[in-house]
Amino acid sequence: MTRPMCILVTGGAGYIGSHTVLQLLLNGYSTVVVDNLDNSSEVAISRVRELAGDRGRNLSFHKMDIRDKPALEQLFASTKFDAVIHFAGLKAVGESVQKPLMYYNNNIVGTITLLEVMAAYGCKKLVFSSSATVYGWPKELPCTEEFPLSAANPYGRTKLMIEEMCRDVYASDPEWKFVLLRYFNPVGAHPSGRIGEDPHGIPNNLMPFIQHVAVGRQPALKVFGTDYSTKDGTGVRDYIHVVDLADGHTAALAKLSDPKIGCEVYNLGTGKGTSVLEMVSAFEKASGKKIPLIKTARRPGDAEIVYASTTKAERELNWKAKYGIEEMCRDQWNWASRNPYGYQTEAKKLGA
Ligand code: NAD
Ligand code: UD1
């Protein structure tokens, strides 16, 4: 019997990571997660195991910081990885402006350490979590992978630099294979309601904030800007169901086996733009909850309209998002209503 392919998933306890690990297990991969639990909970790992049934035994977890080189080396010395999916990183834009060095240290030093250890152990296949943030305020739409790149804040600069680092590493050694995935706006949760997004502190992004309002953790949603040149004056984004996004990673892994691939970049989005007010109304419909709104000024650094061209991913990864806004809101609410305090809900119920 051939052994299942073994994938190292950095940041695999986090929001996108946990959904991806589940899809990998269900697709027959064996996965090793390393995560320092800085923005996540080990409960996510046990729930992924539970959802994967028998295949849950193919998941192992190490609480580890990817900047801890000796620990990472030890792991590579004991396990042969076929590829790495690299989610681990800090992602709050506002915080990155306040604490740029923390972001450069975590995201850049973390990635350099990972690439060095991978090279030393001869594992040269990586899928990296980049972001649509590298398109800045796009001059044309939809965003294609060839658009000029820019970054408006330290978080965005870390994504851009890591992309450039991967291109440089590939140029220096064509044995490497990289798939850089530019995510648009991941939302929703696994339909089981067992895993979902559980940000520590007050959420910065739209859907987690709406979720907190719906369960009474925040009084109202501030709508950042109602004077954009869009259908209803509010910002437009390309929201993508996190399970579709997770499936995009299995497609990316398959692509890494293509002998012709070097360092390639793909958008993962739906190609559809939805405004803030449309998203609020879809969520209200799915949840039966009223979301009180406070209309405020634009958030500095926000683009007006961002959505993806999906042509390249459809053509070369053979992947296409299946879910629409209704399913995203249904699954977001299913998760939020069952876990109003995220992975802390059980502890809260017990009065901890
Ligand atoms: P997340 O915070 O839920 O997951 C990231 C995980 O990485 C967390 O579990 C955290 O504990 C872990 N981590 C952070 N630094 C680490 C380190 N030094 N060592 C080990 N573990 C570490 O975030 P997410 O939404 O799942 O995002 C995953 C990746 O996708 C990130 O790189 C993020 O920048 C990128 N991304 C996210 C979005 C989004 O909207 N969620 C959009 C575009 C790109
Ligand atoms: C944010 C990040 C971006 C990252 C992306 C990934 C910022 C400035 N940018 O972008 O770097 O790649 O997430 O998902 O944080 N909105 C409100 N009220 C809120 C929150 C958001 O009206 O409380 C609006 C925003 O103005 C925007 C839309 O909702 O029009 C989506 O916002 P958000 O979820 O933060 O995503 P992005 O702005 O795309």
Cβ-Cβ contacts under 8 Å for 336 (sequence gap 6 or more): 189, 196, 211, 214, 215, 287
Quote the pLDDT of residue 345: 77
Asked whether residue 207 is assigned to any structural domain, the reply reads: yes
Say if 59 falls within a structural domain.
yes
The predicted pLDDT at position 351 comes to 66
Name the 3-class secondary structure at 222.
strand
Res 135: pLDDT? 97
Domain presence at residue 166? yes
Mean pLDDT value of segment 57-83: 98
Residue 245: half-sphere exposure toward Cβ, Cα within 13 Å? 29
Rounded Cα distance between 299 and 258, Å, is 42
- Establish if 340 belongs to a structural domain: yes
Q: Is 228 labeled as catalytic in the residue annotation?
A: no
CATH of the domain at 31: 3.40.50.720
The count of structural domains within the chain is 1
Task: Write down the pTM of the prediction.
Answer: 0.98
Q: Which residues line ligand 1 (CB under 6 A)?
A: 10-11, 13-17, 34-40, 65-67, 87-91, 106, 110, 129, 131, 183, 186
Average pLDDT on 166-180 reads 98
Residue 323 domain boundaries: 6-348
Q: Any alpha helices (H) in the chain, and if so which ranges?
A: 15-26, 42-52, 69-78, 93-98, 100-103, 110-120, 154-172, 206-214, 242-256, 276-287, 311-312, 325-338, 345-349
Residue 17 lies inside a defined structural domain of this protein: yes
Q: Give the pLDDT band (50/70/90) at residue 2.
A: confident
% residues pLDDT > 90 (the chain): 95
Average pLDDT estimate for 261-265: 97
Strand order of the β-sheet with 177-183 is 59-63, 30-35, 6-10, 83-86, 125-131, 177-183, 263-268
Calculate how far, in angstroms, residue 219's C-alpha sits from the geometric centre of ligand 2: 19
- Within a 10 A sphere around the Cβ of 57, how many other Cβ atoms? 11
How far apart are alpha carbons 273 and 267 in whole angstroms?
A: 14
Residue 1 domain-assigned (yes or no): no
Q: How large is the average pLDDT for residues 100-122?
A: 98
Is 148 part of any domain?
A: yes
Residues in CB range of 305: below 8 A, 6 or more apart: 138, 141, 228, 230, 235, 236, 273
Please name which ligand lies nearest the alpha carbon of 245.
1
The set of protein residues with a Cβ atom below 6 angstroms from ligand 2 is 93, 131-133, 155-156, 185, 204-206, 209, 221-225, 235, 237, 276, 299, 301-302
User: Is residue 199's pLDDT more than 90?
Assistant: no
- What DSSP character marks residue 122? T
Q: How far apart are CA 67 and CA 109, in angstroms?
A: 7
Q: Is residue 329 part of a domain?
A: yes
In tens, the pLDDT along 287-304 reads: 999 999 999 999 999 999
Q: Which amino acid is at 164?
A: E
